[in-house]
Structures are given as C-alpha cells and as structure tokens.
C-alpha cells in the first residue's frame, strides 16, 4: 500500500514541476503524458466543489481503513486484502493532492510550470488543491458512422496512478471476491448448508 502511495506522489510531483498545464508528451501513438488538473473526481471529471470531495474522500478512507484492518484480523484471503489496500492507497494519494498541493505549489498554467513553495504560500488553501492527472490512452478514434460515439476518442479519460490503483482494486474485488460483499447472513447460510451436507453424509 505504501509503495503505491509513494509512486503516485513521485509521478504527480514530477509532472507538476516539469510540465505546463495541458502540455502533452507523446510516448507512442496510443499513449501520451498529458498534464491536466481537476478538483478531485477520478479520470479528469470535475463535478463537485473541492472541499466537498476532499471531505467525502477522507470519510471514505477512514471507512476503508477500518474494513481493511477488520479483514486482516479475520484472516480473509490475501488477494482481497491486496485489492482493498489498492483502493485505500489510491484514495490517500488523491486526498494528498486535495489537502496539500494548494499549499505547497504555485499555480500551474499553460505558460508556466509550477514550483514548490513554503507551506501556505501556494495557489490555494487546505482542502482546495487540485488533483494532478497525466495518463492518456487515445487507443483509437471511433469511425464517423458509429452512432453517438462517431469521431470521439475511445477511452478519452485522463487519469493518474492513484485512479488506476482504485480501479484495479475495485474490479479485483468485484470479479474475484464478490461473495465477501454479500451480508454475513448469506455467508452464515452457506456455512449452515455445508454443515448440514456433512452431517447427512455422516449418516
């Protein structure tokens, strides 16, 4: 979990202090480093106030940390622990942007690269920082004849390492550990059925 958090922050700081806002580096035809910022939503979306999103994310982190500690104590599968750890680490990575970046960086603009400043001398206050996004995969453009999607880029979202961690963790839980999302009553029912089958076989 710590490694995901550290890698995310290293990438974000490197991009923010070396690229102008909206600057793009074409690594390949289908992969660009494209620097944008948003107020906190994943994949470059921007719908709500930064402070609201920051508070929501902090509450979510507390809840997920509680769940993580609980499943570790109860010795749940290591894969489930790893997936939930990815979600927590990703959420923590983005909340640092919200809470701290406005305090320690100058404003990123299309003409000027941001620089690090003393605490409190940045472009915003606590919980008003913008999340840094940079990964862009324009895999292909839909043909014009395709209804609704014609002319648009397939997967045109721009995201960061933390977003990827959250997404991978969530998908992993849904695909491989969805049974643990079912209530304890359902799991108790399965357990009772297994005990009944065992008892019947014993007869």
Which structural domain, as residue segments, surrounds residue 96? Answer: 2-202
Out of 69-73, 102-106, 160-164, 198-202, pick the least confident: 198-202
How far is Cα 38 from Cα 126, in angstroms, rounded to an integer?
16
Instruction: Tell me whether residue 97 is one of the annotated catalytic residues.
Output: no
* DSSP H or E segment with residue 33: strand 31-38
Q: Which of these is catalytic: 29, 97, 152, 163?
A: 163
- Total tally of structural domains belonging to the chain: 1
How far is Cα 33 from Cα 11, in angstroms, rounded to an integer?
11
Instruction: Tell me whether residue 29 is one of the annotated catalytic residues.
Output: no
Per-residue pLDDT tens for 75-114?
899 999 999 999 999 999 999 998 999 999 999 999 999 9
Pairing of strands 131-136, 31-38: antiparallel
Q: Which of these is catalytic: 8, 29, 97, 133?
A: 133
């Amino acid at each position: 979990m710590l490694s995901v958090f550290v890698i995310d922050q290293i990438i974000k700081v490197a991009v923010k202090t070396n690229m102008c806002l909206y600057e793009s580096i074409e690594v390949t035809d289908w992969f660009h480093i494209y620097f944008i910022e948003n107020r906190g939503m994943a994949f470059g979306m921007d719908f709500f106030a930064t402070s609201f999103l920051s508070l929501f994310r902090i509450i979510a982190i507390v809840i997920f940390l509680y769940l993580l500690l609980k499943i570790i104590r109860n010795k749940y599968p290591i894969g489930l622990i790893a997936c939930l750890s990815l979600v927590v680490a990703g959420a923590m990575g983005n909340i640092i942007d919200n809470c701290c970046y406005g305090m320690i960086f100058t404003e990123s603009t299309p003409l000027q690269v941001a620089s690090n400043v003393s605490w409190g001398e940045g472009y915003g206050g606590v919980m008003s920082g913008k999340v840094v996004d940079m990964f862009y995969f324009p895999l292909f453009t839909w043909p014009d004849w395709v209804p609704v999607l014609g002319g648009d880029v397939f997967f045109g979202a721009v995201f960061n390492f933390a977003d990827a961690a959250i997404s991978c963790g969530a998908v992993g839980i849904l695909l491989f550990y969805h049974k643990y999302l079912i209530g304890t009553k359902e799991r108790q029912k399965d357990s009772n059925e297994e005990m009944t089958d065992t008892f019947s076989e014993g007869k």
